[in-house]
Amino acid sequence: MVKRRKTIALDEDIITSISDIAKKKGMSLSNYLRRLLTAAINVEKHGINPEQALYEQIILKYMKTAGLTFNPIEDISNVNKSIWETTGKRLGLILRIREIDRTKALKDTILLLLSGIGEITLEERRDTVKITCITTKTEKKVLEALEALILSLAGQLDVTLDTHIDEGIIIIEFKK
């Protein structure tokens, strides 16, 4: 592959941070940037926003730290609701300690939790977020357990939610 030089202007703090990371990995700045940009291009080719994908990885990391794992829906229908509440509190505390933007973290966590169970609609207005998940394969008690987790997570993040659960649907609204 032919290499070409191109000058790119970056803020000094970004250059310092990237240089430090590359050095810790035993790589040159150019090689590290090449790898980052190649990964971003590959993600974009799959229709995924690289910035959002990286942010979701941060949320997933802390979800795992809080004790959340992804399991088949059938496996979680018998789980005690208080376990879900405790996990939500734990996750909320971790996100607060890590100083993650609270409303963005809440929105992205809800989207990650609901992404495997149904069709999701996200409506973002200037000051509100509304997430609707319609599912035909998820029992109401599973949706209630997810609601318990989400409500306790929101409580830790000092965000008030309005939720509505019915057979096959969960609607969550909150102010940004």
Give the whole-angstrom CA distance, residue 133 versus residue 171: 6
Per-residue model confidence (pLDDT) at position 79: 67
Q: What is the pLDDT of residue 175?
A: 93
Q: Is 90 exceeded by the pLDDT of residue 35?
A: yes
Q: Is the pLDDT of residue 89 over 70?
A: yes
Q: Is the per-residue pLDDT at 71 higher than 80?
A: no
What CATH fold (topology level) applies to the domain 50-175? Muramoyl-pentapeptide Carboxypeptidase; domain 2 (3.30.1380)
Kindly report, residue by residue over 92-112, the tens digit of the pLDDT.
999 999 888 999 899 999 998
For residue 121, what are its two tokens?
Answer: 């609609």
What pLDDT digit, counting tens, does each position of 120-168 carry?
A: 999 999 999 999 999 887 778 888 888 999 999 999 999 999 999 988 8
pTM comes to: 0.73
φ, ψ for residue 128, nearest 5 deg:
-135, 160
Amino acid at 171: I
pLDDT at 87 over 70: yes
Mean pLDDT of the chain: 89
Q: Which of 71, 74, 51, 75 is nearest to 63 (CA)?
A: 71
Q: What region, left, alpha or beta, does residue 24 occupy, with left being phi > 0 and alpha being psi -120 to 50 degrees?
A: alpha
Which pLDDT value is given to residue 168?
A: 86
Q: Which residue has the higher pLDDT, 132 or 3?
A: 132
Three-state secondary structure of the chain: CCCCCCCCCCCHHHHHHHHHHHHHCCCCHHHHHHHHHHHHHHHHHCCCCHHHHHHHHHHHHHHHHCCCCCCCHHHHCCCCHHHHHHHHHHHHHHHHHCCCCHHHHHHHHHHHHHCCCCEEEEEECCCEEEEEEECCCCCHHHHHHHHHHHHHHHHHCCCCEEEEEECCEEEEEEEC
Domain ranges of the chain: 12-45, 50-175
